[in-house]
Structure 1
Amino acid sequence: MEGKIMMKKITTAVLSITSALALSISVLAAPVAAAPDAASGPAGDIAKMYRIKHELKFSLQGTSATLDGKSIRADQPILKNGRVFVPLRTLQENGAAAAVTWDAKKREARVVMKPQIVPSWQELSFRIGSDQIYLPDGDAISGEKIPKPFLANGRTYIPVKPLAWLGVTASLNQGTVTWNWSEKIIEVLTPSWEIDGDTAKFSMLYQEDMYAPQFLFSFGSGAWGGGTGQVTAKGISQDGRLYNRMEFEAELRPGINPLKLYAVSAGEADFTVLRKVNDPAAVPVKLTEEGQQYVTLHLPASGYVNVKSGAEIAIEGTIVKPHHLFDQVTVVVQKYNPKPKDSYVVYETVSTKRLPIQADKFSGTVRVEAPGNYLIRIDSPNYIAAPERGPVATKWAEFIVEAE
């Protein structure tokens, strides 16, 4: 359950576009494993992934407490009706939780764990006198009952059982309560670099007892895909841990490429690669497999267009395999604009325009109003059968615009 939240987030992101669109986009960036070299990526590892283990021990008598072997002050656990209850605020005081807050009206304590813990649930709430655990949306976890939390000496006490949902294991042995948890870290050593080629080769280290990492690449509009790598070395000793080395190769768009390192056991970390283009005329418009079957694009002539902000960009194409449902194509203009509060949102849609298909041809223009990097997507008509939804569209092509 360690990676439940992360996997849910990625699944939601990928499903934010239609399944047909995801099928077509997947051919745009088919990553394969390869060894890094100086021409296409950094010479050394760009990141390393590892675990920092923590252990908190405190006695039921309140006489002693230690965190990672060092003496500390901690509120005393309480044994009630044969159950061990622990003060919730101890999670924050000792570094496992990012925040613990109290809602006096609801008589509810809310705990938000550090994302580095990668718990099953990062945020949960406990209500005094309630035998349920509450999710961020206010719903209770179905089928989960706990001994009722209570207040004592101005502290909220909860049973040790639900700590497992928060990524903390708890045990009682000879009057000593022990908590164990770990922070899972992806430390990015090279957060960005520039290359001239259309692929980036890079490597990272990961602690050998953790899940193997992968990299993620943005489809635009909040959707991401995953790329796997190849283990090229094992048992590398560094900072008291043993690591494996994973090497990757990613296909790049012209300009900025937002990428992530991700693992079920460690969350994610961001990095970017800037692909420099010396000759825009040598960069073709990128067609998906479906696009290659159905359309020929005449304009733009290049897959990397440099313009002044406010300029109009001509789009023109011919249908080479007609279909009775082909009525229009849709041009979606997305601007690179990362959101600090949600690292999965790196492009925002700034305009959408429909171009009618007449006599198997379509043409029109789109405008980029502000300076920046733009991903322009050309979507097909709605012609792909989808159960219970009717015909849906898919991506036919994309190109990049750099506006000054």
Structure 2
Amino acid sequence: MKTCMALLMSVMLAFGSGSSSFAQESASSSHTTNEKLDVAKMYRVSHELIMDVNSGQAVLDGRTLSLDKPIMKNGRVFVPLRTLRATEAVNLLKFDASTQQVQVIMNSELKPPFEQLFFRVGSDKVYMEDGSALPGTTIAKPLIAKGVTYIPIQALTYVGISPATAKQKVTLKWSNKVLELLQPKWETDKDSTTFTMLYQKDMNTPSVATALSGGGWVGGNDHAKVLKQDISLDGRQYNRIKFTLPLRPGPNALKITAVSGGEKTLSVMRKVSNESTLPIRVSDEGKKYIAFDQSASGYVGTPQGGSIDIAGRMVAGNEELGALSFTVQQYDDQAVKTNPYKDIKEGKIPIQDQSFKGSVKLQHKGYYLITLYSTDNVPAFDRGAWAEIVVEVY
């Protein structure tokens, strides 16, 4: 398996371009798409906490609260940890008395510069999980007064909270960046899918990526199209953007992502009624070297324990290349947040008499992706994934 992982890592960049070749071939026939409207919505939920330094009275998003009041020391403003607990900005606050250290874990929807940091009473440094200090960072030293732990408001900027002071009041502002899936799954019998989503107009434009068999994701918003701007909805202004992406037969994981909005994964099932109508997908790079009979299918159904034949021929002039590498990966619905394709096996198919032939036996139900990779002795720009076969084991 170590060999397999090394192979996958070495071809990831090349496979990125190879995957694009696959994508262009499939997505070119736009008449085969069917459109889903607004499968997701990305927006910001703003929050504000105003505290009176003198009275301790606080107002959170218009609601009055009674909190420990901030304190001033040497011209710096400090807030109690208990104040942060009253907000939904923080997921976890933990004070370790033995080390005098405060652990702060933020709500991931804030998309803060650092989701987890550590502050130490009496130290002007901010610490990361590995114990190292943030380089070039100095803060007012956290302190304990009357049994209450305080941290300086300036330190909150590192965890996504913007502090301000004016007229004896302390204001903390932050916002949750929400990516809401309105339709996370759907089915189609087409070779590509088109869908739209809404995103708040002052947030970064989202993009969509497709899972690579070699690990990771490839995609973007280069071919996306903003259909409409300034859509008024739930008190916000949205833009509507459209994406069209190619689909493999069977399940497809698509990841929506944005710098300001996090990421969520969609699942699109491409149904196939006639296996014989789907040729093996060959990348542009692969077409220079290998070919398959017209009867060879890129989508194969087989019972448990069945064998899948992998056979083809070399394009003239490439007979002496040695052997093709291949991997077999199973699609795992539970792993779509990382990458749904999990390594099952690997191998090589020798090239003899201008052709290659091998077989793979699969024992368990599910969907599998068989990927043929380039030989080792081709130019670097032609290396990567050359062909794909999707298998459904029933």
TM over 0.5: yes
One of 102, 116, 119 as aligned partner of 2:95: 102
Q: Distance in 1 between matches of 2:143 and 2:391?
A: 59
One of 345, 348, 355 as aligned partner of 1:351: 345
Q: Distance in 1 between matches of 2:69 and 2:295?
A: 70
Task: For residue 70 of structure 1, report the CA deviation from its aligned partner.
Answer: 0.9
Partner of 1:113: 106
One of 361, 386, 391 as aligned partner of 1:396: 386
Q: Structure 2 unaligned segments of length 5 or more: list them.
A: 1-7
One of 371, 376, 381 as aligned partner of 1:382: 376
DSSP-derived class of the 2:158 partner: helix
Partner of 1:11: none
The answer to whether the 8 A contact 2:193-2:245 is kept is: yes
Q: Distance in 1 between matches of 2:18 and 2:97?
A: 52
Q: In the alignment, does 2:249 pair up with 1:254? A: yes
Alignment-mate amino acid for residue 208 of structure 1 = K
Q: Distance in 2 between matches of 1:267 and 1:31?
A: 30
Alignment-mate amino acid for residue 261 of structure 2 = A
DSSP-derived class of the 1:28 partner: helix
Q: In the alignment, does 2:262 pair up with 1:267? A: yes
Alignment deviations for residues 132-165 of structure 1 (CA, whole Å, 9 cap, x no partner): 2222333222111222222334443222222122
Partner of 1:5: none
1:16/1:175 Cα in 2 relative to 1: closer, same or farther (>3 Å)? farther
Task: For residue 33 of structure 1, report the CA deviation from its aligned partner.
Answer: 10
The answer to whether the 8 A contact 2:11-2:383 is kept is: no
DSSP-derived class of the 2:109 partner: helix
Alignment-mate amino acid for residue 145 of structure 2 = A
Alignment deviations for residues 1-43 of structure 1 (CA, whole Å, 9 cap, x no partner): xxxxxxxxxxxxx978532222222222249999x9996133x
Q: In the alignment, does 2:286 pair up with 1:294? A: no
Q: Distance in 2 between matches of 1:32 and 1:120?
A: 39
DSSP-derived class of the 2:183 partner: coil
Task: For residue 321 of structure 1, report the CA deviation from its aligned partner.
Answer: 5.2
Q: Distance in 2 between matches of 1:123 and 1:162?
A: 12
In terms of mean alpha carbon deviation, does 349-358 or 206-215 score higher? 349-358
One of 202, 209, 218 as aligned partner of 1:216: 209
Partner of 1:233: 228
Partner of 2:131: 138
Alignment-mate amino acid for residue 318 of structure 1 = R
Partner of 1:162: 155
Q: Distance in 2 between matches of 1:351 and 1:269?
A: 29
The answer to whether the 8 A contact 2:126-2:134 is kept is: yes
1:168/1:300 Cα in 2 relative to 1: closer, same or farther (>3 Å)? farther
Aligned-residue CA RMSD in angstroms?
2.8
Which protein has the bigger helix share? 2
Partner of 1:182: 175
Q: Distance in 2 between matches of 1:55 and 1:15?
A: 45
Alignment deviations for residues 163-221 of structure 1 (CA, whole Å, 9 cap, x no partner): 12211100111111111011111111111111111111111111111111111211134
Partner of 2:4: none
Task: For residue 393 of structure 1, report the CA deviation from its aligned partner.
Answer: 4.4
Q: In the alignment, does 2:312 pair up with 1:317? A: yes
DSSP-derived class of the 1:29 partner: helix
Q: Percent identity?
A: 38
1:27/1:157 Cα in 2 relative to 1: closer, same or farther (>3 Å)? farther
Task: For residue 57 of structure 1, report the CA deviation from its aligned partner.
Answer: 1.0
Q: Distance in 2 between matches of 1:107 and 1:325?
A: 68
DSSP-derived class of the 1:26 partner: helix
1:202/1:334 Cα in 2 relative to 1: closer, same or farther (>3 Å)? same
Alignment-mate amino acid for residue 174 of structure 2 = W
**How many residue pairs end up in the alignment?**
384
- 5 Å-filtered alignment, 1:350-369, equals 350-369=344-363
Instruction: Give TM-score scaled by structure 2 length.
Output: 0.89
DSSP-derived class of the 1:220 partner: coil
Alignment-mate amino acid for residue 41 of structure 1 = E
Task: For residue 400 of structure 1, report the CA deviation from its aligned partner.
Answer: 0.8
Alignment deviations for residues 222-253 of structure 1 (CA, whole Å, 9 cap, x no partner): 31112321111111111111111111111111
Q: Distance in 2 between matches of 1:80 and 1:39?
A: 64
The answer to whether the 8 A contact 1:334-1:350 is kept is: yes
Q: In the alignment, does 2:302 pair up with 1:307? A: yes
Q: In the alignment, does 2:196 pair up with 1:203? A: yes
Q: Distance in 2 between matches of 1:384 and 1:103?
A: 58
One of 9, 19, 24 as aligned partner of 2:13: 19
In terms of mean alpha carbon deviation, does 62-71 or 314-323 score higher? 314-323
Alignment deviations for residues 77-108 of structure 1 (CA, whole Å, 9 cap, x no partner): 22122111222343343100122223444332
Task: For residue 384 of structure 1, report the CA deviation from its aligned partner.
Answer: 5.4
The answer to whether the 8 A contact 1:17-1:223 is kept is: no
Q: Distance in 1 between matches of 2:25 and 2:54?
A: 57
Alignment-mate amino acid for residue 258 of structure 1 = A
Q: Distance in 2 between matches of 1:15 and 1:72?
A: 53
Partner of 1:54: 47
Partner of 2:185: 192
Q: Distance in 2 between matches of 1:138 and 1:299?
A: 60
